[in-house]
Amino acid sequence: MTGSSLTFRPLEAAPFGVLAEIEAGDVDAAVALFLQAADEISGALHAAGGLMVVRGLSALRDAPRALVTISQVFGPDVENYRETLTAERFFHEEVAEVLVLSNMPPCNHPPPPRPEPLLDEEGRFPVQFPQRANWHTDQSYRRPPPDVTLLFGVTVPPADQGQTLFADCTAALEALAPEVRAEIEGLSGLHAPSWIGRRPQDVRGGIAPKPLLAHQLPQRQPLVRVHPVTGKPALYICEEAQMDHLEGPIEGLEPGPDGAGARLVRRLLAHATRREFVYVHGWRQGDLVIGDNRCLLHAASWFDADKHPRLMWRTTVSGHPGAEYAGEAKSWVPEEGYAPMQGMEDA
């Protein structure tokens, strides 16, 4: 393509991931480049362990529809948030496939709390659970779960605030002691959204769990998930707010926030988020970061929301969950006559 170029190089200061640099005359040329090089781009993503940072797409900020087209390079189904009944303030007014994450109105989504202290004893940015909170993989409370999340930085705070962290759960699994690996093979986690009253604090507080319709139930996911493209196994877990601490978080192990299942999840999270497995992305305006939910954990971090406006666009791509989910209906689609969030109106 005349005047357009795409180059790949390893991501700096990262144990995994690839940097893709795009030069294209305008948004249409950039989108054409993505479509033309689709196999090469998704191949580079998988070869790099499921993380890609794309630079050179600043013009996307005026073209949300182009982000949806680019997202289709990574899988067949791009979630339409209107169909999954997300509140309107959380998706783009013209393009319902674009989820809006912002501290600005109408979204008004606050950043995670400021960690105290902000840096660890050695003056480094803390990455490891539990010092670093909210490690998760997107929508693991659905079966089949999604493939890939794309995050685009429209307006970003300084690069040393509001970073997004990614942990390589393929490498983390490989590094587990053989006896721990043997202990977790064949186990399943119970994943649940944070708003159904099954977080540790809900259970400890003795809050009556919400009655759930069939499409709202926690979902089992294997603790070791095989990636459908690379064939590599990876740890598949989430932090406490996204696992069921009433009946889980691990099927067949002692339930509850202090049970054997919760202790195992905490141990695995602390292992998977060791610094050697983690990449911290400090945002520049116009960055597009693509993360594979099938083999990565990610976490948001604090920024000073009083000083800095932040606007991110997100798309979620699904369609290749792996053999484990072959032929399954979507767990989150309600039976006729029911609404997705029925009974959750206060969530």
Binding site for Fe ion (CB under 5 A): 138
Nearer to Fe ion, 138 or 292 (CB): 138
Nearer to Fe ion, 66 or 238 (CB): 238
In the complex, the smallest distance separating the C-beta of residue 1 from Fe ion, rounded to whole angstroms, is 33
Nearer to Fe ion, 60 or 241 (CB): 241
Angle between helices 27-36 and 64-71 (to 10 degrees): 10
In the complex, the smallest distance separating the C-beta of residue 35 from Fe ion, rounded to whole angstroms, is 26
Nearer to Fe ion, 79 or 138 (CB): 138
For the chain, the straight-line distance linking the first and the last C-alpha, in angstroms and rounded, comes to: 49
Helix, strand or coil, per DSSP, at residue 281 = strand
In the complex, the smallest distance separating the C-beta of residue 48 from Fe ion, rounded to whole angstroms, is 19
In the complex, the smallest distance separating the C-beta of residue 298 from Fe ion, rounded to whole angstroms, is 6
Distance CA 81, CA 346 (A): 19
Question: What is the residue type of 269?
Answer: L
Tokens found for residue 194: 């944070």
In the complex, the smallest distance separating the C-beta of residue 123 from Fe ion, rounded to whole angstroms, is 27
Distance CA 269, CA 264 (A): 9
Distance CA 328, CA 325 (A): 6
In the complex, the smallest distance separating the C-beta of residue 138 from Fe ion, rounded to whole angstroms, is 5
Nearer to Fe ion, 33 or 53 (CB): 53
Q: Are 299 and 165 in contact (CB under 8 A)?
A: yes
Nearer to Fe ion, 97 or 138 (CB): 138
The residue among 271, 265, 297, 272 whose CA lies nearest residue 187 is 265
In the complex, the smallest distance separating the C-beta of residue 139 from Fe ion, rounded to whole angstroms, is 8
The residue among 222, 242, 220 whose CA lies nearest residue 298 is 242
Helix, strand or coil, per DSSP, at residue 22 = strand
In the complex, the smallest distance separating the C-beta of residue 130 from Fe ion, rounded to whole angstroms, is 18
Distance CA 128, CA 105 (A): 32
Distance CA 93, CA 343 (A): 26
Handedness of CA 223, 264, 202, 119 (dihedral sign): negative
In the complex, the smallest distance separating the C-beta of residue 10 from Fe ion, rounded to whole angstroms, is 24
Nearer to Fe ion, 250 or 300 (CB): 300
CA dihedral of 69, 147, 284, 4, whole degrees rounded to 10: -40
Distance CA 24, CA 44 (A): 19
Question: Nearest-CB residue to Fe ion?
Answer: 138
Nearer to Fe ion, 56 or 145 (CB): 145
Q: Are 126 and 228 in contact (CB under 8 A)?
A: no
Q: Are 315 and 71 in contact (CB under 8 A)?
A: yes
